[in-house]
Amino acid sequence: MSATPSDLDVVFRHRFHAMGSPCEILLASSDHHSPAIVQRLELELQRLEAKYSRFQSSSLLSAINQSAGSGKSVSVDEETERLLDYADTCFKESSGLFDITSGCLKKIWNYNDLEDRQVLPDEAAIRKALEKVGWEKVERKPGEILLPIKGMEIDFGGIVKEYAADCVAGLADNLGAGPGMVELGGDIRLFDTDKSRSWQVGIRDPHDAYRPAATVRLQQGGLATSGDYERYSVIQGRRYSHILNPLTGWPVEGFSSVSVLADQCIVAGSAASIAVMKGDEGVAWLKELGLPYLCIDQAGQVSGTMT
Amino acid sequence: MKSRSLIALTTSALALPGITSTANADSPPTESSFGYRVSTYEEDNLPEEFLFLGDPERYDITIHQFQLVTPVGENYGLTLSSSYESMSGASPWYALPVFEGEKSIVMSGATIHEQRRDYNLSLRRYQDNGNYAFSIGTSRENDYYSWSGGFDIARNFNNDLATIAGGVSVSNDDINPTDAALFNRVTDESKRTSSAFVSVSQIIDQNSLFQSSLNMTRHKGFLTDPYKLGDTRPDSRTQWAWSNAYRRFVNSLDAALHLDVRFYNDDFGVNSLTLNAAWYQNLGDNWQITPSIRYYSQSAADFFTPVNDFSLYGVPNSSDYRLASYGAVSGGLQVQTFIDDMSLVFKIERYVTDADYSIHNGQSSPALVNFTRMSLGVSYTF
């Protein structure tokens, strides 16, 4: 994904790597405070990464996952509590399709291995993995969470990176950064917006990393995309999405990519993820939400309401 | 109207500490829609045992309603609505003293055929944090002409989770009863009505909403029913109504509960209570079925007399059953289906009233009326 503001010149651009993704902060105007402001924004991302990374063993998320099956609950702070509430809302609104405990299914589908495989995972392995999946199995009390089954895992994919974009935008506003944009691995949030400015954003083609499948103009809010970019398995010549249905354990067969525009990037992100999970019913879900969207199907065909 | 899922996600997102709000613009309609509904309202005939004179057949009313909503420019929405109502039947004219087992109601002699045409136009401006509208309307019957005008405004707060609204309206009615010379009825009377409201609504959480509103209406002028014999009412009436609504969506059942409570009081001495409950059950993506139940109770007006006392000429007195103490229970069932850009709705409602249903004081009337109402509607978005 690439973004350029169309009606103004970007005078300050900061690129870095955080939360497992390439990131970029663009400010529309620059003065001697700009370097300090973007440093502070990057620090905010580091804070969230340190707290919610699955790969850092010192993170709060790792502490929760390591406690699974021990019978002991883990204390969580206000921010984490609200993120778990948000995940709960997504679970309910998607009738169980958006489930932050579905991460352990990914292991049996080997998404890190892009080599062509000869065999699909066997049903017994999927069934066994599914025993460790299910948000309804998680026990919550105010300020506490308990994962009752050993091997159970929480993964804030589809929530935390988008939330981080919203946090950065809010902080940028508070710091008086002026109009700008943050992009975290394809998820975008604008800040200090007004109707006189728009930003032109290219939505990457899921089948061709270097080509935009569509270009949209944003004036406000957050744009998030969910799809099988880069992460998929090719098994016996067939492409399997990294997005798994937590009810069946199988990859979903729906859109290759769905982008949604909403006031908050976190809402855009979960709306897009749920649309992909819903497969054929994804479009009905997007229409019901009434948010602008853009879908790219497996054949590369683009459709939607976003212009 | 925002999608319920979007409200759920947004409310949940706004509870996160790192998320600051961006005020949302109220959005005008982006598509035009047309709706048509036909309703029939059929009063049960007056039981023979109460009828002294006249035609026992009471009102049958058929109402045709049309509405067109269309965007105008980027920030305006225009609503044009019209209704055509045709009435036939007889309504009680006066009530006589009754002795055990005798008949007491006199229905107005001939069957009445009446038509009413209403037109209303409103233009609403949508802004970043709310909306406002001006509206005008007229209503005409062969013996009656009314015009009205109004203004209302709504402002959103707290990330659109709270809305405060208010409005004022005025209307003027000119009344020229038919057959005035024949029945010694009034001619050229008029009535002025002014009303104001304030309301506050708050989204409580992702699945529930509360709204409360206060409405005051003041009528001045000729408030008597010119077609009732011996009917004399004060020349002003001030009405207060406090309405409260609670909506709750039940995720697990894909259904919504609507509860409404309304308290009413006026200086005719009428107090009333309305309780309403409805269950909106979605069935799949295309059907919705809604059973509802309503209870209503009111006290009698200070000057209500169950039988006309013709010696009270010029002093407020009325035997109009609508000013009597009574209670009513009604039950309804609505079925709605959505097909692409079209929606079809059918509703049937049965209303039963009785003096004994009232929890309020005052005398009741033998002329209380039961009715059945049915409506069929279609709306189309383009």
Residue A285: give its domain's CATH number. Answer: 3.10.520.10
Greatest mean pLDDT among A145-159, B152-166, B224-238, B367-381: A145-159
- Is residue A41 located within the same domain as residue A68? no
pLDDT of residue A184: 92
Q: What is the pTM of this model?
A: 0.67
Q: Which domain holds residue B113?
A: 4-381
pLDDT of residue B185: 72
Residues A250-266, mean pLDDT to the nearest whole number: 89
Judged by a CB distance cut-off of 8 A, whether residue A81 touches chain B is no
- Is residue A299 located within the same domain as residue A197? yes
Name the minimum distance, in Å, from the CA of A71 to any CA of chain B.
28
- Is residue A79 located within the same domain as residue A184? no
Please indicate whether, in this complex, the C-beta atoms of B9 and A93 are within 8 angstroms of each other.
yes
Q: Most B CBs within 10 Å: which of A45, A175, A264, A280, as the mutation test of the B interface?
A: A264
Please indicate whether, in this complex, the C-beta atoms of A79 and B24 are within 8 angstroms of each other.
no
Residue A186 lies in a domain: yes
Q: Which member of B24, B206, B251 has the closest CB to residue A263?
A: B24
**CATH for B194:** 2.40.160.50
Report helix angle A34-52 to A78-93, nearest 10: 70
Residue A154 lies in a domain: no
Classify residue B106 by burial, with Cβ atoms within 10 Å: 0-12, 13-18, 19+: buried
Q: Is A55 helix (H, G, I), strand (E, B) or coil?
A: coil
pLDDT of residue B193: 94
Name the minimum distance, in Å, from the CA of A86 to any CA of chain B.
5
Residue A39 lies in a domain: yes
Q: Which DSSP string do the residues of A216-233 spell out, in sequence order? A: EEE-SSEEEEEE-SS-EE
Q: How far apart are CA B264 and CA A141, in angstroms?
A: 44
Report helix angle A265-277 to B4-14, nearest 10: 130
- Is residue A173 located within the same domain as residue A46? yes
Q: Show which of residues 102-161 on chain A sit within 8 Å of chain B, judged by CB atoms.
A: none
Residue A152 lies in a domain: no
Higher per-residue confidence, A205 vs B121: B121
B100-111 residue pLDDT tens: 555 566 665 555
**Residue after which a domain boundary falls, among A146, A167, A183:** A146
- ipTM of the modeled complex: 0.86
Name the minimum distance, in Å, from the CA of A223 to any CA of chain B.
14
Contacts of B42 (CB under 8 A, 6+ apart): B60, B61, B371, B372, B373
A173 chain-B contacts, CB cut-off 8 A:
20
- Is residue A73 located within the same domain as residue A172? no
Q: A with B: how many residue pairs have Cβ under 8 Å apart?
A: 79
Please indicate whether, in this complex, the C-beta atoms of A264 and B285 are within 8 angstroms of each other.
no
Which of A10-24, A154-168, A263-277, B46-60 has the lowest average pLDDT? Answer: B46-60
Residue A118 lies in a domain: yes
Find, in chain B, the residue whose alpha carbon is nearest to that of A269: B9
Domain count, chain B: 1
Mean pLDDT computed over every residue of chain A: 85
Q: What SS3 string covers chain B?
A: CCCHHHHHHHHHHHCCCCCCCCCCCCCCCCCCEEEEEEEEEEECCCCHHHEEECCCCCCEEEEEEEEEEEEECCCEEEEEEEEEEEEEECCEEEECCCCCCCCCEEECCCCEEEEEEEEEEEEEEEECCEEEEEEEEEEEECCEEEEEEEEEEEEEECCCCEEEEEEEEEEEEEECCCCHHHHCCCCCEEEEEEEEEEEEEEEEECCEEEEEEEEEEEEEECCCCCCCCCCECCCEEEEEEEEEEEEEEEHHHCEEEEEEEEEEEECCCCEEEEEEEEEEEEECCCEEEEEEEEEEEECCCCCECCCCCCCCCCCCEECCHHHCCEEEEEEEEEEEEEECCEEEEEEEEEEEEEHHHCCCCCCCCCCCCCEEEEEEEEEEEC
- Is residue A281 located within the same domain as residue A240? yes
Please indicate whether, in this complex, the C-beta atoms of B19 and A170 are within 8 angstroms of each other.
yes
Residues A275-286, mean pLDDT to the nearest whole number: 90
Q: Which member of B16, B22, B24 has the closest CB to residue A83?
A: B16
pLDDT of residue A55: 86
Please indicate whether, in this complex, the C-beta atoms of B22 and A263 are within 8 angstroms of each other.
yes
A47-89 residue pLDDT tens: 999 999 988 889 999 999 999 999 999 999 999 999 999 999 9
- Is residue A6 located within the same domain as residue A68? no
pLDDT of residue A29: 81
Residue A235 lies in a domain: yes
Q: Is A91 helix (H, G, I), strand (E, B) or coil?
A: helix
- Is residue A169 located within the same domain as residue A278? yes
- Is residue A167 located within the same domain as residue A244? yes
- H helices present in chain A, as ranges: 34-52, 60-66, 78-93, 104-108, 123-130, 160-175, 265-277, 282-289
Res A111 pLDDT > 60: no
Q: Which member of A79, A173, A267 has the closest CB to residue B9?
A: A267
Residue A153 lies in a domain: no
Domain count, chain A: 2
Q: Which DSSP string do the residues of A238-301 spell out, in sequence order? A: EEEES-B-TTTSSBP-S-SEEEEEESSHHHHHHHHHHHHHTGGGHHHHHHHHT--EEEE-TT--
Q: How far apart are CA B358 and CA A99, in angstroms?
A: 52
A179-196 residue pLDDT tens: 899 999 889 999 988 777
Higher per-residue confidence, B202 vs B252: B202
**Residue after which a domain boundary falls, among A125, A146, A167:** A146
Find, in chain B, the residue whose alpha carbon is nearest to that of A168: B18
Which of A93-97, B57-61, B87-91, B258-262 has the lowest average pLDDT? Answer: B87-91
- Is residue A73 located within the same domain as residue A45? no
Find, in chain A, the residue whose alpha carbon is nearest to that of B22: A263
Classify residue A27 by burial, with Cβ atoms within 10 Å: 0-12, 13-18, 19+: buried
Q: Most A CBs within 10 Å: which of B1, B4, B6, B285, as the mutation test of the A interface?
A: B6
pLDDT of residue B54: 60
Q: How confident is the model at residue B293 (pLDDT cuts 50, 70, 90)?
A: very high
Please indicate whether, in this complex, the C-beta atoms of B9 and A270 are within 8 angstroms of each other.
yes
B6 chain-A contacts, CB cut-off 8 A:
262, 267, 271, 289-291
pLDDT of residue B24: 54
**CATH for A120:** 1.10.3980.10
Q: Which domain holds residue A227?
A: 2-52+159-304
- Is residue A198 located within the same domain as residue A285? yes
* Cross-strand bridge partners of residue A268: none
Residue A89 lies in a domain: yes
B84-98 residue pLDDT tens: 988 776 666 666 555
- Is residue A180 located within the same domain as residue A219? yes
